[in-house]
Amino acid sequence: MTLIEVKDLHVTFGEVHAVRGVSFTVAEGESYGIVGESGSGKSTVLRAICGLAPISAGTVRVADEVLGRRRSAAFHRRVQMVFQDPYASLHPRHTIDRVLAEPLAIHGFSDRETRILRALDEVGLGEGFRFRYPHQLSGGQRQRVAIARALILEPRVMLLDEPTSALDASIQAEVLNLLDRLRAERGLTYILVSHDLAVVAHMCERLLVMQHGAAVEELTREGLRARTAAQPYTRALLAASEGYRPAGTPT
């Protein structure tokens, strides 16, 4: 069953045409990757889906609902985003408890205590981190908090914008394994943006390659690992990926 459909998506910022006619579908429970160089428009696609970038033309459909200019509260309960920089995405003067309590208050949940403790436990932090501040946590711990904040509303879809690129290599594997486990346990659907092909091969069943705001080609995980790319740009991207591991195991 198709859960997300992006059709002929265009995003412009003034004179800059950031996304040019991108189309793809994501099945319920699938993990779908978008890769490309910096400036390829991959993160802008995620921002357009969640309402942080204007859709100039085309349509985005989630769970059979065509998204308009404004996103409803119900949409934000279904779709959550995890950003690249876990420090910038957390308020430096708010405790982790307040970070997690804020979305619950906005959406009118009454069982806040239970949900906060469960979310911390699910991401492997525990109650001892509840009243710490972001500066008291490592980068990996901050990203776990960002994941917990996204999970706490029990979404169906998580948009992951380079979720491990700001982390040390050893911590990257821990966070990716956490995301893998959460998807399996909760039946989540992911769209993962990354420049790291090894991460995409590890996390995603299919992926879209982008260049200069446009879609170049779509590959399966098996095609990526076998390097069966049809387009010269994709082949060049594979060749330029230092440390790319065909098995897709993150380090």
Separation between Cα atoms, residue 184 and residue 75, nearest integer Å: 22
pLDDT at 249 over 50: no
The domain 2-89+157-240 is placed in CATH, from the list 3.40.50.880, 3.40.50.300, 3.30.360.10, 3.10.620.30, at 3.40.50.300
Radius of gyration of the chain (CA): 18
CB 225 within 8 A of CB 246: yes
Q: Are 210 and 34 in contact (CB under 8 A)?
A: yes
Whether 11 shows a pLDDT value over 90: the answer reads: yes
82-107 average pLDDT score = 91
Q: What is the pLDDT of residue 242?
A: 54
Residue 15 has a pLDDT of 92
pTM of the model: 0.91
Smallest CA-to-CA distance from 134 within 91, 176, 103 is with 91
**Closest residue by Cα to residue 194 from 3, 65, 28, 31:** 31
3-state helix, strand, coil in the chain (%, to 5): 40, 25, 35
- List residues bridging with 207 in a β-sheet: 33, 219
Dist. CA 62–CA 65, nearest whole Å: 5
- Whether the pLDDT of residue 241 is over 80: the answer is no
